[in-house]
């Protein structure tokens, strides 16, 4: 993937931040047609284009039919970052959402991912139920607002940024020009 290539080529640290993409989405989710209602968008065409972009990166992309509130998944990501081997949760969340169409607002689904990753599912459940990482996600959301970020992905290096899926060369240029 592009980010891993950049990490291998340059002495950079990649930090993932959370962003409130459609935070109004109910926990039960919305169909993609409901999410994009009134925007005159061709959802099947968008799905096809997304599948092509993912394939270019060597990633799978399923036939997603719904979108879900990702707030708890973001909190789980913060929890996982504090655990040995927790980094794999990010890939597992990605797959669950984009390939398997899993509701990531459901604690049981999230805890199941943790268990399959070989991490402490009981501790993860408690962290989610007690919202132990709420403030960390809130801080990321606030920082996104401060930076004027309006979409994902957004790449920030120094005081410059790029919004949206970008070719490797554009992201590399951002890194090089930002010093």
Q: What is the CATH number of the domain that holds 81?
A: 3.40.30.10
Q: Are residues 119 and 155 in the same domain?
A: no
User: What's the mean pLDDT when you consider all of the chain?
Assistant: 92
Which backbone phi and psi does 156 adopt, to 5 degrees? -125, 130
Which residue range is the domain that position 177 belongs to?
A: 1-19+149-179
pLDDT band at 1 (very low <50, low <70, confident <90, very high): low
Burial of residue 117 (CB within 10 Å: 0-12, 13-18, 19+) is buried
Q: Are residues 7 and 55 in the same domain?
A: no
The DSSP element (H or E) to which 162 belongs, if any, is strand 160-163
Q: Are residues 25 and 69 in the same domain?
A: yes
pLDDT tens track for 146-169:
988 888 888 888 888 888 878 889
For residues 55 and 114, the answer to whether their CB atoms sit within 8 Å is no
Q: Are residues 114 and 165 in the same domain?
A: no
Q: Are residues 30 and 118 in the same domain?
A: yes
Q: Are residues 138 and 179 in the same domain?
A: no
Q: Are residues 167 and 89 in the same domain?
A: no
Q: Are residues 169 and 113 in the same domain?
A: no
For residues 166 and 155, the answer to whether their CB atoms sit within 8 Å is yes
For 68-101, b/e burial (b = at least 16 CB within 10 A) is: bbbbbbbbbbbbbeebeebeebeebbebbbbeee
Q: Are residues 111 and 153 in the same domain?
A: no
pLDDT at 102 over 80: yes
Q: Are residues 125 and 170 in the same domain?
A: no
Say whether 169 sits in a helix, a strand or coil.
helix
Residue in 133, 144, 149 with CA at minimum distance from that of residue 73:
133
Q: Are residues 44 and 119 in the same domain?
A: yes
pLDDT tens track for 106-141:
999 999 999 999 999 999 999 999 999 999 999 999
Total domains in the chain come to 2
pLDDT tens track for 48-72:
998 998 888 888 898 888 999 999 9
Q: Are residues 52 and 35 in the same domain?
A: yes
Dist. CA 96–CA 93, nearest whole Å? 5
């Amino acid at each position: 993937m592009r980010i891993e290539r950049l990490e291998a080529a340059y002495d950079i640290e990649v930090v993932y931040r959370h962003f409130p993409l459609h935070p109004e989405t109910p926990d039960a989710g919305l169909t993609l047609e409901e999410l994009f209602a009134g925007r005159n968008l061709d959802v099947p065409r968008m799905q096809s284009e997304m599948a092509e972009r993912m394939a270019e990166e060597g990633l799978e992309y399923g036939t997603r039919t719904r979108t879900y509130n990702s707030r708890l998944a973001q909190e789980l990501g913060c929890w996982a970052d504090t655990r040995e081997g927790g980094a794999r949760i990010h890939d597992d969340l990605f797959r669950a959402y984009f390939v398997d169409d899993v509701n990531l607002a459901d604690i049981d689904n999230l805890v199941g991912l943790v268990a399959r990753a070989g991490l402490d599912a009981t501790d993860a459940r408690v962290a989610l139920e007690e919202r132990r990482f709420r403030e960390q996600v809130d801080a990321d959301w606030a920082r996104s607002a401060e930076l004027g970020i309006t979409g994902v992905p957004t790449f920030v290096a120094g005081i410059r940024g790029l919004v949206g899926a970008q070719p490797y060369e554009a992201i590399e240029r951002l890194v090089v020009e930002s010093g």
